[in-house]
Chains A and B, each alone.
Chain A
Amino acid sequence: MTLSRQASPAQQVPDRKATSAIARYLDRCHAAVRSLWIGGVLIALIVGFSIGSPYFLTRANWLNTSSTATEVLLLAVGETFVICSGGIDLSVGAVLGFSGTAGAWVMAHGFAGAAGTAPLAISVGFLVTLLAGGAFGALNGFLVTRAFVPPFVVTLGTLGIATGLGYLLNNGQEISAIPASVATIGNANLGGWIPVPVAVTAAITIWYALVLSKTRFGAYTLSIGDSREAVVRAGINDRRHLFKVYLLSGFLAGVAGILVMARLGAGSPASGSTDNLNAIAAVVIGGASLFGGRGTIIGSVIGTGIIAVLITGLVLINVPPFWQEVAVGAVLILAVYIDQLRGRRRHRA
């Protein structure tokens, strides 16, 4: 007994070291691999659609696809933080629509007819749009952290509230009496290839990718989603942090509201109605866990890319547009299924 106890560590250590080194390597690759295989799906879709349609790899389709992607991506960035924190924000698309409509309403009614006020009208209108988004984010955050209503219920409620208020602003009609230069900015291209909304979205996305992965804010977000108990015991103010996460999500929905308004040249209450689920799907396809604690912005970017490419690509290969949502839904389920398989294998090992 004594002998075997003394002998066994010496025999086991090299073995264990070798296997654990491999396991460690695999673990470190895990997140990267997840992004990679999802990235592979995106590339496969691009290749497939390029073969299927001569119009897919064109400047016109790039401008169209990237514009489609911007609003979903902005919402997905905020949604990534919310989902990583263990919550969900169902209201982002509705908040996008409401905030853009509110901004347009202020531009149309506060500055109607007065010549030369366009810069002021635009500034105030954009500010109102951001404030409207932030206000809904703050409302969500307040209800989740102070009233202890589950995030799903809170944001389902604000989804309805924001949708209804958006329609109430102009009897359900879009508001197009805004300065023409808004649409000029929104449809301008940098070098002919980079629409202004795409550039804005790219800058914001890179910034928040760094925030999530490199800063204390991101670390708290992931840790809260992983184990609320651990975070509370570590003396972190979990409720204050979660409030900020929902505020961020609402604020980015406001930014998306500005970009959509600028693209359409009008404030449209219905403009974000399909973006809710697309944003959540993009985040989940990108590898974030709906139970919290895991997720990356780069994953959400790829997830958004898959959705945007499906939406524009299917049209180009003459598939009826209603199939878009079918395809996005199927990809969502498939991505989570594959992720579950991998997780199960990992836990068994």
Chain B
Amino acid sequence: MSVRLAVRDMSKHYGGIEALRGVSLQVDAGEVLGLVGDNGAGKSTLLKILAGVIAPTAGEILIDGEPAQFANPAAAQAAGVATVYQDLALAGQRDVVANFFMGREVISRGWLGRRTGWLDTKVMSEHTVSELARLRTRIPDVHAASMDLSGGQRQALAIARAAAWTSRVLLLDEPTSALGVEQQQQVLDLIRRVRDDGIAVLFISHQMPDVLAVCDRAVVLRLGCVASTLGAGQLTADNLVGYITGAKTAADDTGAEAEPGPDTRPSPDTRPGPDA
């Protein structure tokens, strides 16, 4: 697996406040990297930088080894980095198809279609159905208003939409909070399927069980720095909580490394999958 997203020495200062201090991490294609940390650890700042919402003070973003700079969210999206925020950004009264294709509507062929912007609703509906089915999301009716879906279905729609329009990196901000247990499992399954499509997933969460369930590795941020990068072997609730709270530091535990090394990344077949 190749390194899809690499962040090098990322720093963000707001006046005298250092939100991020030289954070480095990398996500492989087809890997879910957890990004955890207490409030104020810098998770949201890093997410916003990667999504092109804010500019870093210093540091580098590499997509497939190529340096990338995101002047705005559109630039990040154009580079193949899609973001699903906590509020999901769905239009509640619009149906699933309209939300799925928002901003990417399919226009009927022919001169008249192009002149008038006539929507090819048949193609859009079929594509939405097939894409949602491929990712095995449980959305029964693509013509239902998105506000009539359950919380899990809405989350699934937002993730499936982002995954369908990105080929590289998917940033997920707390996708499983505010969901019931069964819906959490469905969303985690969906994240695994997106990962299996070869997309690099950065999974931000406060829900330790979900991090343990879906992530191949996890980066713990603390006070704007990487406190630890936990590989498959070290990914335990104990380690996560320890590094998040600062009870553990990299020096305490020789098993975890402050910088990601090639040996901390699991090979594809040892990764816990949906059928594991």
Listed in ascending order, the chain A residues whose CB lies under 8 Å from chain B are 17, 20, 23-24, 27-28, 211, 214-217, 219, 222-223, 226-227, 229-231, 233-236, 289, 293-294
Contact = CB atoms under 8 A, between A and B. Distances in A.
Given A27-B144, A236-B102, A227 B77 contact: no
Contacts of B116: 211, 215
Contacts of A233: 73, 85, 89
B91 interface: yes
Given A24-B144, A27-B145, A236 B103 contact: yes
Contact of B140 (A20, A217, A235, A294): A20
Contacts of A289: 93
B11 interface: no
Given A20-B140, A233-B89, A234-B103, A217 B77 contact: no
A219 B120 CA distance: 12
Interface residues of B, number: 29
A223 B98 contact: yes
Give 8 closest A-B pairs by Cβ, nearest first. A234-B103, A216-B117, A226-B91, A234-B102, A230-B89, A227-B91, A293-B93, A233-B89
Given A217-B117, A226-B92, A294-B93, 18 more contacts: A17-B140, A24-B141, A215-B116, A215-B117, A222-B94, A222-B98, A223-B102, A226-B91, A226-B93, A227-B89, A230-B89, A230-B99, A231-B102, A233-B73, A233-B89, A234-B89, A234-B104, A235-B77
Contacts of A236: 102-103
B103 A235 contact: yes
A215 B140 CA distance: 25
A20 B104 CA distance: 29
Contacts of A215: 116-119
A236 B102 CA distance: 8
B74 A235 contact: yes
A201 B91 CA distance: 32
Interface in B141-186: 141, 143-145, 148
Interface in B85-113: 85, 87, 89-94, 98-99, 102-105, 107
A316 B181 CA distance: 64
Interface in B54-85: 73-74, 77, 85
B119 A230 contact: no
A216 B141 CA distance: 22
Contacts of B99: 230
A235 B162 CA distance: 13
Interface string B2-26: 0000000000000000000000000
Nearest to B106: A216
Chain A contact residues: helix, strand, loop or mixed? helix
Nearest to A224: B91
A110 to B, nearest CB: 34
A285 B85 CA distance: 36
A223 B146 CA distance: 12
Contacts of A214: 118-119, 121
Nearest to A23: B148
Nearest to B140: A20
A215 to B, nearest CB: 4
Contacts of A231: 91, 102-103
B89 A229 contact: yes
Contacts of A20: 140-141
Contacts of B77: 235
Contacts of B74: 235
B90 A227 contact: yes
A201 B144 CA distance: 33
A226 B102 CA distance: 12
B91 A223 contact: yes
A226 B93 CA distance: 6
Residue of A226, A229, A233, A235 contacting most chain B CB atoms (<10 Å): A233
B94 A293 contact: yes
Contacts of B105: 216, 219
A99 to B, nearest CB: 26
Nearest to A8: B182
A294 B107 CA distance: 22
B148 A27 contact: yes
A8 to B, nearest CB: 9
A278 B104 CA distance: 36
Contacts of B87: 229
Contact of A230 (B91, B141, B145): B91
B103 A293 contact: no
Contact of B91 (A17, A23, A211, A293): A293
12 contacts: A27-B144, A214-B121, A215-B117, A219-B94, A222-B98, A223-B102, A226-B91, A227-B91, A229-B87, A234-B103, A235-B73, A293-B91
B89 A28 contact: no
Contacts of A27: 144-145, 148
B143 A28 contact: yes
Contacts of B103: 231, 234-236
A231 B103 CA distance: 7
A233 B94 CA distance: 16
Contacts of B148: 23, 27
A176 B91 CA distance: 49
Nearest to A228: B91
B264 to A, nearest CB: 34
A23 B145 CA distance: 12
Contact of A24 (B94, B102, B121, B140): B140
Q: Which interface residue of A20, A222, A234, A293 has the most chain B CB atoms within 10 A?
A: A234
A227 B102 CA distance: 11
Contacts of B144: 24, 27
